[in-house]
Amino acid sequence: MIRKSNFKYPVINSVTPISKSNQSLMTVKNLTETSADLYIYGVIVDNTDFKWDESDVMPEDVKDALEQVEGLKELNIYINSPGGSVFAGQAIYNMLNRNKAKKNVYIDGVAASMASVIAMVGDTIYMPKNAYLMIHKPLTIAIGNATDFRKMADDLDVIEDGLVNVYEENLKEGVDIETIKGLMEKETWLTGEEAIELFDVEVVEPKNIAAYGGDLLARYEKTPQKLVATAIQNDHQDNKQPSNEDELIKFQNELDLLEL
């Protein structure tokens, strides 16, 4: 998905933006002398002074995290994301790709849209049977005249070529890139067992990790219904005034998730 710099998607929830200066950037977990764990567990957003949710991931977050792990031999990258900004996603992919460490990518719940591109940075990609990988053509919303829209269509084609190149580098032997382009044309959601037929991924046993349930998933055309239901449920929960007990439970759940 791409966004014009002066455009913001309407926010379903009435949420106050979180100042980046008031919240920590991407956390590096389980740091040792040789390895570290990084988590991409939210929407991929452009570098700004604010985030709509504390789980949003900016290129700056990844840059700061990678500075902490420079020189390590191995990075474990855990992804549970609906995607987001194509330009931010490309920047994150390129930064991770430049890092010399061996990269193990784990698709914990869902890697959709630009998150599926970021997942391709892995030297080894692990995907549970019950996780999802979604690929599609880049999208945008724009306002302009016929000339503007023709240029936008050309720009989208160029952007798509960049995404296709990343997918092509990770194809299963014998799979033609035209197959992937056809799947991108109609927005395709792949389970782990389906993805292994197309990409160099290793399928592992199902994990009891809920796929990302933010409202962005509900905006895609063919999101599996159980993911849409999760997004709607989370939306209702977000609109409720949380009690102190709710906040404590949420905080504990976040701590438990980071320990996975």
- What's the rounded Cα separation, in Å, for the pair 209 and 207? 6
CB 54 within 8 A of CB 13: no
Q: Is 107 left (phi over 0), alpha (psi -120 to 50) or beta?
A: beta
Query: In the numeric block, which tokens belong to residue 211?
Result: 């796929």
The amino acid present at 91, given as its one-letter code, is A
- Report phi then psi at 133, rounded to 5: -120, 125
**What's the full length of the chain, in residues?**
260
- What's the rounded Cα separation, in Å, for the pair 161 and 232? 33
Query: In the numeric block, which tokens belong to residue 28?
Result: 């590096």
Residue 77, CB-side half-sphere exposure with 13 Å CA sphere: 31
CA nearest to 79, candidates 43, 129, 34, 25 = 43
Using DSSP bridges, classify how beta strands 18-19 and 50-51 pair: parallel, antiparallel or unpaired. Answer: antiparallel
Query: In the numeric block, which tokens belong to residue 168?
Result: 């092509």
- Report phi then psi at 123, rounded to 5: -65, -35
CB 220 within 8 A of CB 136: yes
Residues tagged active-site: 113, 136
Helix axes 86-98 and 59-68, enclosed angle (nearest 10)? 10
